[in-house]
Amino acid sequence: MKKTVLIADDNSANLYLLKSIMESHGWLVREAENGKAALEMARTFRPDLIVSDILMPVMDGYSFCRECKKDETLRNIPFVFYTATYTEPKDETFALDLGADRFILKPEEPEVLIKILVDLLEEKERVSLASSKPLGEEMEFFRRHNEILFSKLEKKMADLEAANAELRKLEEKYRGILENMDDAYYEVNLKGDLTFFNQALAARTGYTREELMGMNYRQYMSRNCWRQVQDIFAKVYQTGRAVALFDYEINLKDGGKRFQESWVNLIMDKDNRPIGFRGMARDVTDRKIAEEELRQAEERYRSIFENSQEGMYRANTDEKFIMVNSAMARIFGYDSPAEFVEQVNSGAHPLYQSREDRRKIFQLLESRGVVQDFEARFFRKDGSVGWVSVNIQPARVAQGQAPCYDGFVRDVTDRKESVERLREAFAGTIQAITSLVEAKDPYTAGHQRRVADIAEAIAREMGLSREQIEGIAMAGIIHDIGKISVPAEILCSPRRLTKLEFNLIKTHAQSGYEILKDIKFSWPIARMVLEHHERIDGSGYPHGLTGNNILPESRILAVADVVEAMATHRPYRPALGLEPALQEITENRGVLFDEEAVNACLRLFREKGYTIKD
């Protein structure tokens, strides 16, 4: 028949271990959590062996042993103490004096333990009933019992105190970490009421700890926001898994708002049932604001880019378009920016009508780094031609990114065409006026055109601006328009003129000015006409102006007029020839004529092979 063992121990781990050892040896095992329960069980089923711990609640091992030994029916059951707690030699003596058979110190090797117990059972069978020791005096038992238990409890108290102190130190340490963190730590119950939090949360929200304790998260979030957070709590509850990094906004006590980034996890009780949530929240307001500003700026620039009436693009240094806006696609006749990029980048459609324009643009980029107001003819998608004005500059790109260009393109086809029409109309008008003068004075025929040509060449040689050159050429063509008010007989007179007649001719400068002064030219045409007979020493007419008081353009016109007049045939004399003409301006260089204009004129005729055209 199987032996039955009763084990009394308040530590469930110890109980389990002992039970396993004994069951593996083939014994039946009964367990009890304390002496009192064990005593009742022993009385009910009388085990073959009792193994007991000493320190147990309700009834300790010594009392249990004494009760067994006092009980006629239990007295002869072998009683073994198996203990480790605060053991001293006198503990064993007391145990044996109480009638215990063995006093074994934990932990013992299972085989050794079993052997001791088996030997004990055999020995008990041999010596049978008579072995039980007499019980001592009642008073004596209590005295020794109290003394031993008291000392054991004292030690246990000291141990607990030490353990408590250790726990307190740890608790302080963790509290210190928690309270000094910048991040907020929070715990809420399943309803979302705050049950625990650190100072960072209070400081951030502006509430006192007292106000915050028990507050529900819905109270410091907008409706939209708490619904999102509620969903996250629900997800964590359902899956049991933490959710890392979700964003939300909290309302502060003072009415402000701050952005938080948090993780959240479940809090479980000891039976592994969820009882709340814990998490940490980092303040990411500054980052959010920066992100928002960046987003808005990006949106603004995108809106400008997309809604601009001016074509905008970014292209790499291999002339491939990276992005273009809608206006750019529209200007070039494409349906969309995407189509533009695809068709143009593939080389299916050239953009510039002239290779020369393309070459110049890249030359400018290389030499100056930018292209400004460059006007070029371009092909639309359908092959028609228009005009664009192009500005290109290097794009500001992030470090390490390939260099590229930003381009701004304006469709100037209409302007170009209307300017062209205006120019033609203007040229026609000028031609008509010229014809009027020339009809009256056939000898002036060609004079004005040739003066214009020489003056333009001098101006170009002097490096004047395009604007100025154009103005000088224009003034040259009509500079003698005032002669229209001089009688034809005088103009065409083959004889030498009287002083009076000559004075009459001299009025042509002022007359020309009067005719032209109210016309809004882009250039000072009327003044040039007025001043083309002024001389820098003040000897000219009509006003006897000197030096810089005469327009530079007028001074150039004066040189061209004299050279042409002397070099070609006049009604009252044959041509004097080019050489005397050049000699005349050379001799009067810096006296009657502008020195620089004379030098430029001489260079043209003497070095650059300029000739007066018929």
In the complex, which residues of this chain contact Fe ion (CB under 5 A)?
480, 561
What minimum distance in Å lies between the beta carbon of 557 and Fe ion?
A: 9
What minimum distance in Å lies between the beta carbon of 559 and Fe ion?
A: 12
What minimum distance in Å lies between the beta carbon of 523 and Fe ion?
A: 18
C-alpha angle 178-183-187 in degrees, rounded to nearest 5: 65
Q: Residue 408 pairs with which residues in a beta bridge? A: 312, 391
Residues 6+ apart with CB under 8 A from 19: 7, 29, 31
What minimum distance in Å lies between the beta carbon of 454 and Fe ion?
A: 11
With 0-12 / 13-18 / 19 or more C-beta atoms within 10 angstroms meaning exposed / middle / buried, residue 400 is exposed
What minimum distance in Å lies between the beta carbon of 480 and Fe ion?
A: 4
Place of tokens 């992030």: 398
When the beta carbons of 69 and 533 are compared against Fe ion, the nearer one is 533
When the beta carbons of 441 and 561 are compared against Fe ion, the nearer one is 561
What minimum distance in Å lies between the beta carbon of 570 and Fe ion?
A: 11
What minimum distance in Å lies between the beta carbon of 507 and Fe ion?
A: 11
What minimum distance in Å lies between the beta carbon of 345 and Fe ion?
A: 58
**Distance, C-alpha 54 to centroid of its chain:** 71
When the beta carbons of 570 and 603 are compared against Fe ion, the nearer one is 570
Question: What b/e readout covers 81-100, taking b as 16+ CB neighbours within 10 angstroms?
Answer: bbbebbeeeebbebbeebbb
User: In angstroms, what CA-CA distances link 390 with 136, 312, 326, 365, 520?
Assistant: 119, 10, 16, 12, 29
Strands 79-83 and 102-105: parallel
When the beta carbons of 47 and 476 are compared against Fe ion, the nearer one is 476
Residues 6+ apart with CB under 8 A from 587: none
Strands 274-283 and 311-316: unpaired
Residue 15 in contact with residue 9, Cβ under 8 Å?
yes
When the beta carbons of 9 and 561 are compared against Fe ion, the nearer one is 561
| Cα–Cα nearest to 581, from 559, 600, 610, 597 | 559
When the beta carbons of 453 and 561 are compared against Fe ion, the nearer one is 561
DSSP type of residue 52: E
What minimum distance in Å lies between the beta carbon of 307 and Fe ion?
A: 56
Residues 6+ apart with CB under 8 A from 20: none
When the beta carbons of 188 and 509 are compared against Fe ion, the nearer one is 509
When the beta carbons of 480 and 584 are compared against Fe ion, the nearer one is 480
Dihedrals phi, psi of 594, to nearest 5 degrees: -65, 130
Cα distance between residue 151 and residue 159, in whole Å: 12
Helices (H), 207-275: 209-212, 223-239
Positions of E strands within 273-428? 274-283, 311-316, 321-324, 371-379, 385-394, 404-411
Residues 6+ apart with CB under 8 A from 384: 333
The sign of the CA dihedral 133, 137, 138, 140 is: negative
When the beta carbons of 561 and 596 are compared against Fe ion, the nearer one is 561
What minimum distance in Å lies between the beta carbon of 501 and Fe ion?
A: 15
When the beta carbons of 303 and 435 are compared against Fe ion, the nearer one is 435
What minimum distance in Å lies between the beta carbon of 533 and Fe ion?
A: 6
What minimum distance in Å lies between the beta carbon of 586 and Fe ion?
A: 20
Residue type, 533: H
When the beta carbons of 91 and 561 are compared against Fe ion, the nearer one is 561
When the beta carbons of 261 and 561 are compared against Fe ion, the nearer one is 561
Dihedrals phi, psi of 462, to nearest 5 degrees: -80, -5
Tokens of 475: 């003034």
What minimum distance in Å lies between the beta carbon of 460 and Fe ion?
A: 20
What minimum distance in Å lies between the beta carbon of 494 and Fe ion?
A: 18
Residues 6+ apart with CB under 8 A from 216: 191, 192, 193, 194
When the beta carbons of 264 and 474 are compared against Fe ion, the nearer one is 474
When the beta carbons of 212 and 452 are compared against Fe ion, the nearer one is 452
| Cα–Cα nearest to 435, from 493, 478, 472, 494 | 478
What minimum distance in Å lies between the beta carbon of 427 and Fe ion?
A: 20
| Cα–Cα nearest to 315, from 335, 356, 344 | 344
Cα distance between residue 90 and residue 260, in whole Å: 65
Cα distance between residue 192 and residue 276, in whole Å: 8
When the beta carbons of 101 and 480 are compared against Fe ion, the nearer one is 480
What minimum distance in Å lies between the beta carbon of 599 and Fe ion?
A: 22
The count of residues in the chain is 614
When the beta carbons of 456 and 561 are compared against Fe ion, the nearer one is 561
Residue 407 in contact with residue 312, Cβ under 8 Å?
yes
